Chains A and B, each alone.
Chain A
Amino acid sequence: MAGSSKNEKLIGGILPESKAKDMLYKMVLTRTFEENAEEMYALGKVHGTMHLSIGQEAIAAGASPALKKSDYLLNTHRGHGHFLMWGGDLNRMMAEFMGKEAGYCRGRGGSMHIADVESNNLGAQGIVAGNLPISVGVGLSIRARKTDQVVLTLFGDGAANEGAFHESLNMAAIWSLPVIYLCENNQYAMSMAFEKAFRIEQVSERAAAYGMTGLTIDGNDVFAVYKAVMEAAERARKGSGPTLIEAITYRYRGHSKSDRQLYRTREEVKEWMEKDPILRFAKAIEVKDAELKEIQARAKEDIRKAVEFAENSPEPDVSTILEGIYA
C-alpha cells in the first residue's frame, strides 16, 4: 500500500522500487494460485465454480498499492488478485477456497464471497454490479465520519450495463463521494462481447453523463493502473468526488468452469497472451528471466504450503451450520 520513503527511486517516475518486486511476486502468486485452483478442480479437490483472472493481473497489482491501508475495497467475483494485493493471507485464503473453518469466511463464502472486514476488505461479489450501490454507503459513511478514506470499487464491463451502475455513479457524483470506480473491461460479459453490448467505444465515456472524471487506461500496464488509481484517490481525498477508470484487459480463461469459449477464437486469445502483463511488468522493472523463474518457484512453493495448510485444516462442524446469520 501507499507510503514509502521520500528518497526512494521511482521506477517509471512513479512506482517506488520497494513496491515493484512485491507487486510482481503477487502477480505471479495470483496466477499460480489460479492455475493451482484449476488443477484442484480437475482433481475433484474443490467443489463449486471459480472465476479466474489469469491475464488480468496487472489491474490488481497496480490498484491497491496506490491506496492506504485505511481505505476500503469492494471486490468482484474475479478478485483473487485484488484479495492478495490488499494483504490477504494466502493460507486463510486457500482455506476459504477449500471451504475450511480456518478460511476468512469460515468456509461459508468461498472464493466468490471472500472478505476480510477487519482490513476494510468488504468482500468479493456474486451479483454483477451488486457492490456498486454499496460503495455509495461506504462513501457516505466516510463523509459522516470525516476521515480521508476512499473506497475502491471493482467491477467488469458487464456490470456497467446493470441499472445499479447508473444509480451508484449518479449518487456518488452528486454528493462528491470518495469512490474510485475501477472497471476491469476484459472484453466479455461471460460470452457477450463488449462491442455487442455497448454502442459506445469506451465505458469511461459514461463518466461524462454523471459529471465525473472518466478515463480509459491500458489495464495490462501496472504503471498506468497505479497512476490512475493514485490520482483518483488524490481527487477523492480532496473532496473532488468519484472517478470512473476503465482498465482494458483480457481474461485468458473462460468465464467460469462451464465455459466452452465458443464466442471467441483461439487466435484472439493467443494474440493477447503475447501481451502478457506479468512478462511485461517484469521487463519494465528489469527483472531478468532467471529471477522471474525464482519468483515463480517461490510462488509455487508458497501455494504448496498453503494447500497443505488448508488440507490439514478442519471442515466446519455441522453443529455450527446456523451460525453467523444473525447478530
Chain B
Amino acid sequence: MREITYMEALREAMRQAMQKDERVFVIGEDIGVYGGAFGVTAGLIDEFGPQRIIDTPISEAGIAGACIGAAVTGMRPIGEIQFSDFVVISMEQLVMQGAKMRFMFGGKADVPFVMRLAGGSGTGAAAQHSESLENWFVHVPGLRVVMPATPYDAKGLLLAAIEDNNPIMFFEHKLLYKSKGPVPEEMYTIPLGQSHVVREGKDLTVVATSIMVSRAVQAAEQLAKEGIDLEIIDPRTLKPLDERPIVESVIKTGKALIVHEAVKTGGFGGELAAVIMESEAFAYLDAPVRRLAGLDMPIPYNRNLEYHAVPQVENIVEEARKMVKGQY
C-alpha cells in the first residue's frame, strides 16, 4: 500500500468528503491560500474555491458558531482551530450550544460538525500553543472526542466523523503531521468507538493516546530485547470509549499503564483507570494501575524543559519495566 503522511491523509479525507457531499465545507483561520498553519488544507482552495474553503477572521467563537448554525440547518461543516489552545475562545459555543442543542431541543436537532484541532507540544511553541485539552471535552455530554495516532486512523476516523450526526472534537497532534504510514486511496471509515490493539503482548497493558501510541510502540521494541512483552491499545476515540478490549487485555496481563501527553491531574488517564477498576479486570490486577502523563504544569519554552514536561520513550520504558518487575 502506498504511504502518505498523517497530514496528507487528513487532507485526502476532507477532499474526498467534499467531492462526495456538497454539504461539506471547511472553515477556519488561514486555511485558504495559506493552506492552514500546518499545511493540512494546502491546495484545497484551488479545487473547491473560497465558498467551501472559508478563511475567517481571527474569531474562534465565530468559527464554532458558524459550524453549529450551518450544521443545524442541513450542512456538514468541518471547522479548524489553528492551535487547539485557541479553542478556549470558542468554549461557550461548543459546550453550551453545539453539545447541548440536540438534548435541549428534545432530541429533535441534528448538529453534525467536526472541529479539527491541532494539539500537543514538542514544537517550541510554549505554553499557549502546545496544550492537550481533549479531556475537557470528554467531560461534556453531547460531544464525541477523537484522537488519531496514525495516518491510517487519521483518514478513516475523519471520514467517520464527517459522516456522524454529532458534534465531534477531532484532536490532531502537530508532531504527527509529517509521520508516514500506509493509507488506502479509496474512502473508508473507522467506526467511532472502536479501540485498536496496536501490539499484542502478555506482560503489561499499555493504553496510549495520540502521539503516545508511537512512543509506546518504540518502548515496546526496546523492552522486547529484555524479554518484556507489552500489549498496546489505542482507544482512538476517547468518547465514546470502547472499554471491552482494554478490560480484556488487563484480564490477560494483570497490569495496566496509561500514557497520555495531557497533564496527569484531571486527565483521561484517571477515567481509564476507573474504567479498569470498575470492571471485572479489577480482580485480575496484580499491581496498581499507573498513569504516565504530562507534568502538572504549562508547557515550557526551553527545549530541554519542554522535552521533560511530557512522557518520552525512555519514560515509558522505565515505567513499564518497573511495573513488569513488580516494583510497585
B-contacting residues of A (Cβ < 8 Å)?
A: 72, 103-109, 113, 115, 117-118, 120, 122-123, 126-127, 130-145, 151, 163-164, 167-168, 170-171, 174, 323-327
Contacts and interface: CB of A to CB of B under 8 A. Distances in A.
B44 to A, nearest CB: 16
B161 to A, nearest CB: 13
Interface string B57-94: 10101101111111111110100000000000000110
B57 A325 contact: no
B103 A325 contact: yes
B71 A127 contact: no
B51 interface: yes
B108 interface: yes
A123 B105 contact: yes
B72 A140 contact: no
Given A144-B70, A327-B164, A168 B104 contact: no
A115 B97 CA distance: 13
Contact of B62 (A109, A136, A325, A326): A136
A170 B25 contact: no
B110 interface: yes
Contacts of A108: 103-107
Interface of B: 23, 25, 27, 51-52, 54, 56-57, 59, 61-62, 64-75, 77, 92-93, 96-97, 101-110, 112, 141-142, 144, 164-166
A177 to B, nearest CB: 10
A136 B71 CA distance: 11
A137 B75 CA distance: 9
Nearest to A137: B69
Interface of chain A, helix or strand or loop or mixed?
helix
A108 B112 CA distance: 20
Contacts of A103: 106
Contacts of B142: 325-326
A138 B66 CA distance: 7
B202 to A, nearest CB: 36
B104 A140 contact: no
Nearest to A324: B107
A174 B110 CA distance: 27
A119 to B, nearest CB: 11
A123 B61 CA distance: 19
A127 B95 CA distance: 11
A135 B67 CA distance: 10
Contacts of B56: 171
Contact of A123 (B59, B77, B101, B165): B101
B273 to A, nearest CB: 24
B97 A104 contact: no
A152 to B, nearest CB: 13
A117 B62 contact: no
A117 B109 contact: yes
Nearest to A164: B61
Nearest to A327: B165
B164 to A, nearest CB: 7
25 contacts: A104-B105, A107-B106, A109-B105, A115-B104, A118-B108, A120-B73, A123-B104, A130-B92, A133-B69, A133-B97, A135-B69, A136-B66, A137-B71, A137-B72, A138-B73, A140-B69, A141-B75, A142-B73, A164-B61, A164-B92, A174-B57, A324-B106, A325-B107, A327-B110, A327-B165
A117 B61 contact: no
Contacts of A120: 73
B103 A132 contact: no
B93 A134 contact: yes
Contact of A117 (B54, B75, B108, B141): B108
Contacts of B92: 127, 130, 164
B69 A113 contact: no
Contacts of A118: 108
A317 to B, nearest CB: 13
Contacts of A164: 61-62, 65, 92-93
A154 B247 CA distance: 50
Given A126-B96, A164-B92, A327 B69 contact: no
